[in-house]
Amino acid sequence: MQTPDFTLMAEDIPDDPVLVLMSSALLGPAAWVPVEAELRARGRDVVIAPPADEADPETPADAALGYATATPADRPVILIPHSNAGSFVPTLIEIRNVVKVVFVDATIPVASGRQKIAPKNLVDALEHRADAEGFLPPWTEWFSEPDVAALFPTRALRTHVERQQPQVRWDFLTGELEIHPGWQSTPAGYLAFGSTYAAEMERARALSWPVRQLNGRHLHMLVDPPGVADAILALVEGRAN
């Protein structure tokens, strides 16, 4: 069966879609702020959608509701999820006017069925890290200090991002979402930072999505906001590398 072409040309996109920067459910909205400023400086209407406003999400359903609440319901939107926020894209496609998705170093959900919030290797690594109340340490404590330090261009920016990190429960990390078929008919593109998400890039190409790759790590939007903004807008227009 021939793979359908999901590329949306620039002239087919509504004049006023809102760019919705979906922050990782494990990291918080601060990581998107520099790119938000870049996009606004270029005249784009943009919002950051966190998975929760006042309390950390306890279940995947909580996070889905948080993303939906922050996503405009009265305008067409372009979703731009980072990291595991990609898992929540199909839910928003069902309830919002989503005209395109640009995944940014993000999970591409299954076509249909059960979507795990975290891959098995991460779940296994964190199996004994939850405290007596079931809460995991913040995301930047999951990995070695040298690996985490390399993600941030300055210590001050790291501190700012870390202050907004949610502290999720073990049950959240091991949760699942029910994905209904059909979401992949929404046009999409993929932006990767380095090769960590190489498998996702190949999957995007198999779906005939335009793909772009920048030489960076998982939080490259903090390192090069103009370059990341350029790449996002290129993918909005359907332009690959």
What residue has token string 């999970």?
A: 107
List helix spans (H) across the chain. Answer: 33-41, 60-70, 89-95, 120-125, 145-149, 155-163, 170-173, 198-206, 220-223, 225-236
Q: Is residue 5 part of a domain?
A: no
Identify the band that residue 16 occupies on the pLDDT scale cut at 50, 70 and 90: confident
pLDDT tens-place string over residues 19-74: 999 999 999 899 999 999 999 999 999 999 998 765 677 889 989 999 999 999 99
Q: Give the per-residue pLDDT at 28.
A: 87
Contacts of 117 (CB under 8 A, 6+ apart): 25, 60, 84, 87, 172, 173, 174, 175, 176, 177
Full-model pTM = 0.91
As a whole number of angstroms, the distance between CA 208 and CA 215 comes to: 22
Please, how many CA atoms are within 13 Å of residue 194, restricted to the half-sphere of its CB?
8
Q: Is residue 136 part of a domain?
A: yes
Question: Could you give the percent of the chain with pLDDT greater than 70?
Answer: 93
Measuring CA to CA, how many Å separate 227 from each of 17, 41, 121, 149, 211?
21, 14, 31, 21, 15
Q: Is residue 209 part of a domain?
A: yes
pLDDT tens-place string over residues 162-187: 999 988 999 999 999 999 999 999 99
Structure tokens at 161: 């991002």
Q: Is residue 190 part of a domain?
A: yes
Domain total in the chain:
1
Instruction: Report the phi/psi class of residue 81: left, alpha or beta, with left for phi > 0 and alpha for psi in -120 to 50.
Output: beta
Q: What is the rounded average pLDDT for all residues in the chain?
A: 91
What CATH number is given to the structural domain containing 91?
3.40.50.1820
- Inter-helix orientation angle 225-236/33-41, to 10°: 60
Q: Is residue 37 part of a domain?
A: yes
Q: Is residue 2 part of a domain?
A: no
Q: Is residue 114 part of a domain?
A: yes
As a whole number of angstroms, the distance between CA 165 and CA 95 comes to: 27
Task: State the DSSP code for 135.
Answer: B
pLDDT tens-place string over residues 25-34: 999 899 999 9
Cβ distance 88 to 63 under 8 Å?
Answer: yes
Q: Is residue 241 part of a domain?
A: no
pLDDT greater than 80 at residue 99 = yes
| Residues of the domain holding 161 | 10-236
